Structures are given as C-alpha cells and as structure tokens.
C-alpha cells in the first residue's frame, strides 16, 4: 500500500515537470522564430510599411497584391520550419514587388491629383446619393486610369484620369442641383400640408 502511494506521489510530481518542459520547449521555439523573423523580415517589413503609407493597395493594387502574397508565403514557411533559402527567396520577391508598388502609387497619385480632388468635392456634395449615375461612371474612369497606369500605359491613363476628373465635376454639379431640388420639393410639400391644415374645416367634438 505504501509502495503504491509513493508511486502515485512520484507520478504527480513527474507530470507537471513534463508539462513544464513542454511549455519551455514551445516558448523556446517561439522565441527562436521571433528572433529569426527579426533577422529575415527587416527589409520586407520596411517595404510593406512604405507601400501601405503610399496607399499602394489602392493605387497599385496588382503589384501590392503580388508583394503581399510573397510576404505571406514567407511567413507560412517560417511557421512551418521551411529552409532559410526558401524564406529568403519569398522575402526578396515581396520586397521587390512592394517597392515597385510604392513607386507606382506615388506616381499615380500625382497623375490623378486633379481627379482625386474632384472626387473629394463630389463626395462632399453627396454625389453618390444625389448623382449616382454620374458618380459611378466617374469611378469607373478612375479605376481604369489606375489600372492603365500600373500597366505602364501612360497616355491611356492620362486620358482616363481626365475623364474621371470631368465625370466627378459633373457629378458634383448634378448632386448640388438634385439636392436643392429635393430640398425645394420638401419645403413645398410642407407648405402645402400647413396650408391644408390651416383651411381644413374644424370638426366639433
């Protein structure tokens, strides 16, 4: 009986020790991965931050998507313990694409500056609500300009950018007009209601 009790006590102490060893091993692996990530991902992290700051996801979507794809691939390879060479290869591709995306995005924003200002003005006039057709058409021209610019088709991109600017200006004017018309109709309707209420026959209660 005493022997069994001693064995139970021994096992009760051994189990936590094994669990602690497993936890320590997991922590060590996580720390090693973290340190390795810091060594390998520095340049790619810098390029990703720069691409994000330049709004590359919006103004250079294809290049940004490619760069992000390679970046995620490198992360997965690190998590799965793949070779350093494989991780480095993915990170090199990621850095190249993200750097390209940043450059394209900066140039695109310069090319589209007038169109983007027109879009901002149209948005302030609630063109998406009061001039939906004109707004949607201008949005298509803007998206096309971004796509053509990223593809290196500068003349076509410039043409689309001009069309987008013109479209947003038209949308702004239509929105202002429709907004005032809607407000005028509302005021007239209220006036009519008040007039009817004023001259309506009084009923005795």
pLDDT tens across 173-182, in order? 999 999 887 6
Structure tokens at 32: 């090693």
Question: CB-based contacts of 109: which residues, under 8 Å, 6+ apart?
Answer: 54, 55, 59, 116
Contacts of 126 (CB under 8 A, 6+ apart): 175, 179
Residue 4: its H or E element: helix 2-40
Phi, psi of 60 (to 5 degrees): -145, 60
pLDDT tens digits for 141-155?
Answer: 999 999 999 999 999
- Taking the domains of the chain in order of start, what are their residue ranges? 42-109, 113-197
| Predicted local confidence at residue 60, as pLDDT | 98
Calpha distance 174→181 (Å, rounded):
10
Long-range Cβ contact pairs of 73-77 (< 8 A, separation 24 or more): 74/40, 74/41, 74/44
pLDDT (tens digit, 9 = 90+) per residue, 78-137? 999 999 999 999 999 999 999 999 999 999 999 999 999 999 999 999 999 999 999 999
> What integer is the mean pLDDT of 48-69?
98
| φ/ψ (deg, to 5) at 69 | -60, -50
Angle CA 91–93–97, to nearest 5? 115
């Amino acid at each position: 009986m005493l022997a069994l009790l001693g064995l139970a006590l021994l096992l009760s102490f051994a189990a936590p020790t094994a669990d602690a060893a497993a936890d320590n091993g997991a922590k060590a692996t996580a720390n090693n991965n973290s340190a390795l990530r810091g060594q390998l991902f520095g340049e790619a992290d810098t390029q990703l931050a720069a691409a994000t700051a330049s709004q590359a996801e919006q103004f250079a979507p294809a290049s940004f998507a490619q760069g992000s794809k390679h970046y995620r691939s490198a992360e997965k390879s690190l998590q799965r313990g793949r070779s350093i060479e494989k991780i480095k290869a993915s990170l090199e591709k990621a850095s190249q694409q993200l750097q390209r995306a940043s450059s394209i995005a900066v140039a695109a924003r310069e090319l589209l500056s007038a169109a983007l200002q027109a879009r901002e003005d149209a948005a302030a006039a609630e063109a998406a609500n009061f001039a939906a057709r004109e707004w949607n058409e201008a949005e298509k021209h803007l998206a096309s300009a971004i796509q053509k610019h990223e593809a290196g088709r500068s003349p076509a991109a410039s043409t689309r950018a001009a069309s987008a600017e013109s479209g947003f200006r038209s949308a702004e004017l239509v929105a202002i007009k429709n907004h005032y018309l809607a407000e005028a109709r509302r005021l007239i309707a209220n006036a009519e209601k008040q007039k009817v209420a004023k001259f309506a026959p009084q009923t005795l209660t």
